[in-house]
Structure 1
């Protein structure tokens, strides 16, 4: 069997009609019918049942259909990667990141990447870090920027930066907090608005506070960051978040920010790719661009709090993780 026959078979199986499949493939119905008949003769078995309402797959057809998609996807990726070796990389690439990262990184990353690599089609996906990890491993995305990635054998992870998680509240500060750092023990009495488990930020917060025997007073769980910030701005409660996603509200005087001490809450931002998939020119270009953009955003003061303290010397939950200064990015 050849790829043309396999593509004809897969398209016909998807649309269930010679006329529609022929239109998609831009071939005449008799030509498509001959391709399918030749494939059935080569395999020695019928792949479709024909009836008055159209066609359906036989058991043999269903079995072949399970393989056809993977074969065609592999061929498409191979062609894309070979073409990417040209001086002007082309193809498609997908990157995933949490909403809190996307609110800072997406616009400058897309603008710079499209300017340098106009022939590469880019797709941005947002989701929780756990979902991004799953999509990366299953091949739905090529690159992920996520928090506190676990050690997995088929995952290649590179630290980008370590950021401190701060307490955010309304400008009128209903609880009357002091101007300096806020002890973690105060979170027991403050009305807190946090994402639900298994949101990555919630897991990090629970881990740090749990070790200090602190149970925050969570009065509301909201998994949408923009909604959380609006509720905090209106004085419904306080939340915990890193500086970058809330910077525009803090600088505009719409939110107040306090450092948390005893314990200091931190999380590590990771650039991850799957070691099971070939590293293409497009993937390398995007990874390099992500590193550069994160570094630029930090240097411009748009990601990390300008007056924050240096966090603990090691990232919680991964004793082997490299130490990353809060003011530095791994090149």
Structure 2
């Protein structure tokens, strides 16, 4: 069977017409080059070169092979160069899925900085509840997932990004919550709450953690959409329980307030995951590294937790 080394040796000798010069170009000893050409001629059953005092000349069979060999060698070399270039300049299309509560703070800086660092990669962002994001990852709809409390399974490569603490969020003025930095979880059974309905992951988490403390949250309105929930809270309709990051801009602008919940606190793990059933591409590795970097930066800026807490 013809191999690439034989074709490269043949193509080089056809170009330069000299064993000594061709061996120098290929970086091999002249006897090695001679053996490669001889092996190729034996494989094909024909002579490819006439040898004379001035060097070599292609036979008719050699001329036919040379029409194909040069293109094949150039194609393989070009493919190898492009593959190796991916190490420093990855390219392709990559899809990331994340919950709206994460996207509200992460999507803009992630997309901006990722495009600057990796202009050859086309990035697509999809938002959905953590359960949907997990399903998309396992079915191959997305390549990288950021989600809460991912299950332990051999189908995932998962790593913790941070422990996300949930806060009580309420209107900036006219509320009924004490003027303090924190409130006890017991208060959540006394104030009107706006939360998603079960089996939403946030509602299941709040009910579970409060239930272990013997507390039943006073949920008066059930809303699945986070922007609508925040709008209702800002207008004084009720309170909600979410990550501080979801309301950071409103809190900083004096439109809402945030209280730490204690006795007990409510936390969840933010996870970065890829599927173990699919190969990890350079584009995926680039995106995963960028997500880690952005989450760390946002945390240092006080967007995930209030500074000083």
Do the two structures share a fold, i.e. TM-score over 0.5?
yes
| 1:172 paired residue number | 173
| 1:279 paired residue number | 280
Post-superposition, which runs of at least 4 consecutive aligned residues in structure 1 deviate over 3 A?
81-87
| 1:131 paired residue number | 132
| 1:238 paired residue number | 239
Residues 1:173 and 1:211: Cα distance change in structure 2 (over 3 Å): farther
| 2:199 paired residue number | 198
| 2:216 paired residue number | 215
Residues 1:114 and 1:173: Cα distance change in structure 2 (over 3 Å): same
Decide whether the 8 Å contact of 1:208 with 1:265 is kept in 2. Answer: yes
Q: Calculate the aligned-residue CA RMSD, in Å.
A: 1.6
Matches within 5 A, 1:1-331: 85=86, 87-308=88-309
Alpha-carbon distance between aligned partners in 2 of 1:180 and 1:117, rounded to the nearest angstrom: 41
Of structures 1 and 2, the larger Rg is shown by 2
Query: 1:83 deviation in Å?
Result: 8.5
- Specify the SS of the correspondent of 1:259: strand
Which blocks of at least 5 consecutive residues in structure 2 are unaligned? Answer: 1-81
Query: 1:207 deviation in Å?
Result: 1.6
Residues 1:186 and 1:281: Cα distance change in structure 2 (over 3 Å): same
Which blocks of at least 5 consecutive residues in structure 1 are unaligned? Answer: 1-80, 309-331
Decide whether the 8 Å contact of 1:84 with 1:91 is kept in 2. Answer: no
Decide whether the 8 Å contact of 1:83 with 1:89 is kept in 2. Answer: no
Range 223-232 or range 83-92, more displaced: 83-92
| C-alpha distance after superposition, 1:171-196 (max 9, x if no partner) | 12432424142111111111000112
Query: 1:237 deviation in Å?
Result: 0.4
- Specify the SS of the correspondent of 2:157: strand
Q: Using structure 2 for the length normalisation, give the TM-score.
A: 0.71
| C-alpha distance after superposition, 1:218-273 (max 9, x if no partner) | 01111111110110011100000111110110011110111111111111111000
